[in-house]
Amino acid sequence: MNRAPVNNPKSERLFELLRRAGAGSLPQRAASGASLERERGEAPEKRHSPVPVLLAPMAGITDSAFRRLCIEKGCDFTFTEMVSASGLHYKNRKTQELISISDAEKPCGVQLFGHDPALMAETVQRLFAELVSVREVAVIDINMGCPAPKITSNGDGSALMKSPALAGRIIEAAVKASPVPISVKFRKGWDEASVNAVEFAKMAESSGASFLTVHGRTRAQMYSGTADRALIAEVVSSVNIPVVGNGDIFSGEAALDMLEKTGCAGLMAARGAQGDPFIFERISAALNNENYTPPSEKERLDTALRHIEDYVSGHGGGAFADMRKHIAWYVKGMCGSNELRRRVNTCKNARELTALVTAFRDERESFAGI
């Protein structure tokens, strides 16, 4: 396996940005060394990558409990799911809950979406005046990539790629109002006929963004097809600020491929982390050119159980239904998982969900010696 380039000054710059503003908990990166703890039956030591590896913002997924698990498995930086700037501005209680960040999930950034420069600026000011401190939130990211019709129909998310001048005013307003760096996450373009990521990146840089994340798909593609690494490479070479490559990082090899084909300063994983926070260990092993011993089914199921416990303690037992999809992802590919999924979908409370997963783990352990 090729060793990834580790001496990219923009990766160092990105590490610095992510460490700023009280996010001093960004862990030191391990120099090297094979990850053999698991083979020796020990809990694996947390390792880090030569470039920052970030957990993507994901609505309905990257809550506090999940962010904590990802940090534990070696992710360098997490984001809240996207939060409505106007919801925060008008003090919507549920929206405010989305930005509650504990120490164990730091360093963490808040992602905002909105299409009104003045409201964006007021929200950023209010955020730091009333809701969080600069020690809690390392970065504010502005979502200019979400493809969901309920977002784009209001002119938010990837709809802003069709209005780069307005997008620039939003970024400028946020930069002026914010005590922490502003980053922007966007796509390849609205559709194949209007690919404009390079021009958009230059606009975001000149508007004051500190770093950019590019998902190499158009809005029209939603999540289909493959992320365009050549396009991300063009963006990387067209701006002076760090660019994070995003799209289809489902393995350590895919992370290496993204790094080598684009020269990006950092990597961001989204769907690859669903039900698999261990992906951050795999990426770190691949980038550090280390052997990797995957977790046993027992370790994966123990992690799923901890996820349920943390989730329920944060959201209350009534919210357990949101954990169903996570459990389905954790058990994917395990023998008997279809039956477990069926039962999980009809269980009635968090206690029942925990009992089902515990029984599944114990059964798998006694039959398969996992």
Ligand X SMILES: Cc1cc2nc3c(=O)[nH]c(=O)nc-3n(C[C@H](O)[C@H](O)[C@H](O)COP(=O)(O)O)c2cc1C
216 binds ligand X per the rule CB under 6 A? no
36 binds ligand X per the rule CB under 6 A? no
CA–CA dist 178, 20 (Å, integer): 13
Nearest distance from residue 43's CB to ligand X, in Å?
Answer: 27
Question: Which residue stretch of 174-182, 232-240, 247-255, 330-338 sits at the interface with ligand X (rule: CB under 6 A)?
Answer: 247-255
CA–CA dist 172, 279 (Å, integer): 35
The smaller minimum CB distance to ligand X, of residues 246 and 354, is found at 246
Instruction: Return the ∠ at Cα 245 (arms to 288 and 221), rounded to 5°.
Output: 135
53 binds ligand X per the rule CB under 6 A? no
Question: Which residue stretch of 6-14, 52-60, 171-179, 286-294 sits at the interface with ligand X (rule: CB under 6 A)?
Answer: 52-60
Site pattern 101..140 for ligand X (x: CB under 6 A) = ----------x-----------------------------
258 binds ligand X per the rule CB under 6 A? no
Q: At a CB cut-off of 8 Å and minimum separation 6, what does 43 contact? A: 37
**Dihedral (CA of 87, 190, 212, 286) sign:** positive
Nearest CA to 266 among 135, 133, 141, 114?
141
Nearest distance from residue 73's CB to ligand X, in Å?
Answer: 16
As to burial, measured by CB atoms within 10 angstroms (0-12 exposed, 13-18 middle, 19+ buried), residue 234 is middle
Nearest distance from residue 157's CB to ligand X, in Å?
Answer: 8
Q: How far is CA 9 from the centre of its chain?
A: 23
203 binds ligand X per the rule CB under 6 A? no
Beta partners for 112? 83, 142
Angle between helices 164-177 and 117-126 (to 10 degrees): 20
Nearest distance from residue 63's CB to ligand X, in Å?
Answer: 11
The smaller minimum CB distance to ligand X, of residues 284 and 354, is found at 284
Among 26, 56, 244, 301, binds ligand X (CB under 6 A): 56
Distances (CA, A) of 102 to 19, 74, 283: 16, 17, 25
For the chain, strand residue ranges (E) read 53-55, 78-84, 108-113, 140-144, 182-189, 211-218, 243-246, 266-269
For residue 163, give both structure tokens: 């209005």
Site pattern 153..192 for ligand X (x: CB under 6 A) = --------------------------------x-------
The smaller minimum CB distance to ligand X, of residues 44 and 247, is found at 247
82 binds ligand X per the rule CB under 6 A? yes
Nearest distance from residue 147's CB to ligand X, in Å?
Answer: 8
Nearest distance from residue 271's CB to ligand X, in Å?
Answer: 3
Among 121, 139, 270, 312, binds ligand X (CB under 6 A): 270
DSSP-derived secondary structure letter, 35: B
Which residues of the chain form contacts with ligand X (CB under 6 A)?
A: 56-59, 61, 81-82, 111, 143, 145-146, 185, 215, 246-249, 269-272
